[in-house]
Amino acid sequence: MIYSRIVGTGSYLPPRVMTNLEFAARLDTSDAWIRERTGIVQRHIADPAQGSSDLALQASRRALDAAGVGAESIDLIVLATSTPDYIFPSTACLLQAKLGVKGCAAFDLQAVCSGFVYALATADSFIRSGQYQRALVIGAEVFSRILDWNDRGTCVLFGDGAGAVVLAAGSKPGVHASVLRADGSQVDMLSVPGNVCNGRVIGSPFVQMNGQGVFKFAVKVLEDSARETLAAADMTIEDVDWLIPHQANVRILEATARKLGLPAKKLVVTVDHHGNTSAASVPLALDEFVRAGKIRGGQRVLLQGVGGGFTWGSSLVTL
């Protein structure tokens, strides 16, 4: 039996830190208002010259170093992003070139904030099939490019960053089970309803969100997804050492943990200093806790995403 296992993690955050005080100086908001409703204190913002592929490159190099392998050993690259460098080619192909390798399969995956979980499940399936031996799975975003900086309901929430893992074939289970779901009828709850036509933007190029609707929907599907994934792995919540939900809002994270009956000490929270980095949030949080020595080899981690589409999903992994 072939399994896949995470053998290295990496992440990257742009140097520029944007605090809540910058918003308070020009919008009808305050540091206290943002903290109370979201738990966010600061976020990182990419330089105008940096694209998602640049952030992904730094995170990927760190994941490869952690795994002790070179980029030439990778035979699959799956990059989750909603903010690609170009319309085409894919950001995964741009990343491949920046890594200095050729030939391996490389493609983007678009599931918004669920993107990394979707990408991990996809790479896991390819490895289990025997088609590939070692995959680079990345979530990378420059969400600051699609924000209306005058809309306090959305612009205070998001940040930029990238996270990556190296997934390798092995004889011991690493990814135990994954469950992916979507409901396209909820498209209006969270979207960027625009596109390019004849050189012009048609519709809106900015994030649109129904905050209350997203909160209620996210808490419900994260609980359902967690229970479904645990059942598929023939495990219970007591078997989970750490829960890493998509880092969107601390209230969503805490509500999900409560509904699952998971102790607060097992909940990973990084949204306070990263903001919502969409597809990058889960691998960013994973890498931070791995490098801090909090998440250790042999521990079970439940990774969860939920985002526009609506999409959601979970993966239960042993590090």
Catalytically annotated residues: 113, 246, 276
Contacts of 22 (CB under 8 A, 6+ apart): none
SS3 241: coil
Beta bridge partners of 217: none
Could you give the C-alpha distances from 180 to 25, 39, 200, 254, 313, in angstroms and in order?
Answer: 41, 27, 34, 22, 4
List the structure tokens of 12. Answer: 């990257």
298: phi then psi, degrees, rounded to nearest 5:
95, -10
Beta bridge partners of 105: 76
**DSSP state, residue 41:** -
Residue 201: what residue type? V
For the residues of 51-115, what is the DSSP string, one character each? -HHHHHHHHHHHHHHHHT--GGG--EEEEE-SS-SSSSS-HHHHHHHHHT--SSEEEEE--GGGH
Which has the closest alpha carbon to 69: 140, 164, 166?
166
